[in-house]
Amino acid sequence: MSLTNVKHTYTDTEQWNTYIHEKFCEEVNKNPELKELRDFVEQNAFGFGERSFYWMWKIIVDEMPKEFTFLEIGVFRGQTTTLIQLLAKQAGKKVKVYGVTPQDATDGHWDSDYPMDLFTLEKKFNVPHLNIFRGLSTNPEIIQEVSQLKFDIVYIDGGHTYEVIKSDLEVYPKLTKDFLVVDDCANRFKIPFGMFAGIESVSNAVDEVLPPFGNKLNFDYLFNVVHNRIWRINNGKG
């Protein structure tokens, strides 16, 4: 199932949201490396989100060129950055992964040795060391440094207050050459009972500027997988 296939079948219904979540979970469980990573994450509290997100990232990585770049805002303990590197390896591609993250208990996270957490995943799953911009995504010095770069994929999953996500949406979408993904922002969608739709403050900020509700940023909306939503930059090529 390719990204194009998913986009063409997408409808915002409880049935579709259930189907795509369950189908993606099945595909993850049939891939030994992806299943091993997700099982480890769940058993050791190394991250949140849904198992189905792994296959969402797989079909995005499939769209990437042989060499690409990825930026995550809010790395936490390294689940997604490790996943992106595993997927690139499986696809025979090279990726340079960057993260903006405080690596401390900021924003309500529990205390942990975050550098050691990343090292643990790097060693266990044999992926390269992550390029970290250590600090808050709203820090002017961090913004200035990161803004010198461009990325093929930008993933926003940092602070979850309205003010922080609004700031992140003013800065980081401008840095992507292709895909934008935002977590925790599907509260206005038909997410079935029992699935996590997101955080109202995040959804409100996203819906102000990004389609299908807002139109202040130059992106085409593709689809959601539970509470992750995916856009692609509109480059005028159709």
Task: List, for residues 68-78, the tens digit of each pLDDT value.
Answer: 999 999 999 99
Query: What is the structure's pLDDT at 236?
Result: 61
Q: From 2, 11, 75, select the one nearest 224 (Cα to Cα).
A: 11
Residues spanned by the domain of 22: 3-233
Q: Could you identify the residue written with the tokens 């044999």?
A: 126
Instruction: Report the domain count for the chain.
Output: 1
Which residue type, as a one-letter code, is found at position 196?
F
- Asked if 6 and 211 touch (Cβ cutoff 8 Å), the reply is no
Does residue 160 belong to any structural domain of this protein? yes
Kindly state whether residue 173 falls inside one of the protein's structural domains.
yes
CATH of the domain at 59: 3.40.50.150
Q: What is the pLDDT of residue 1?
A: 83
- Rg of the chain's alpha carbons, rounded to an integer? 17
Buried/exposed code over 76-106 (b: 16+ C-beta within 10 A; e: otherwise): bbbbbbbbbbbbbbeeebebbbbbbbbbeee
238 located within any domain:
no
Kindly state the tokens that stand for 179. Answer: 């895909």
Please report whether residue 54 resides in a domain: yes
pLDDT reported for residue 238: 39
**Does residue 144 form part of some domain?**
yes
pLDDT of residue 108: 66
User: What percentage of the chain reaches a pLDDT higher than 70?
Assistant: 97
Closest CA to 175 of 158, 161, 155: 155
The ranges of the chain with pLDDT < 50 are 237-238
The answer to the question of residue 12 being in a domain is yes
122 close to 128: Cβ distance less than 8 angstroms: yes
Query: Which phi and psi (to 5°) does residue 95 adopt?
Result: -130, 140
- pLDDT of the residue at 105: 79
The per-residue pLDDT for 110 is 76
Asked if residue 168 belongs to a domain, the reply is: yes
- Within a domain: 109: yes
Per the structure block, which two tokens stand in for 48? Answer: 């949140």
